[in-house]
Amino acid sequence: MAVTVTTEDRTTKVELAAGDVSAPVMLSGDAVVAVTPGVGGSMGVLATWSTPTDVSAGNARWHYWNAGQVSAKTTQTLLKATAVGVAEIRW
């Protein structure tokens, strides 16, 4: 399954299959990030506060969110992050 990104109103949804990694999703200001792993799966989220130029050039410094690797629906607010991405999905 390919990575699918859809945006509606102010919500961006990223859907991906096990083993896929999302490209960075650029943010503008604070963001509420929610992940819902599939049955038996887990996922992690990376966030960066690097400049948009560094993100685009692949030079951003990425940090795992505080929730770590999760196996249930998890929501966290990220203040002033430049971009986020789903780091990994495991089954």
In this structure, the number of other CB atoms found within 10 A of the CB of residue 70 comes to 17
User: Which residue did the predictor score with more confidence, 43 or 51?
Assistant: 51
Condensed to tens digits (0 to 9), the pLDDT of residues 80-90 reads: 999 988 765 55
Nearest-angstrom CA–CA distance, 74 and 88: 15
Q: Give the Cα separation of 43 and 91 in Å (integer).
A: 9
User: What pLDDT was estimated at residue 86?
Assistant: 76
Structure pTM?
0.78
pLDDT at res. 1? 46
Q: How far apart are CA 91 and CA 89, in angstroms?
A: 7
Distance of alpha carbon 15 from alpha carbon 21, whole angstroms: 10
The count of structural domains within the chain is: 1
Q: Which domain holds residue 56?
A: 4-90
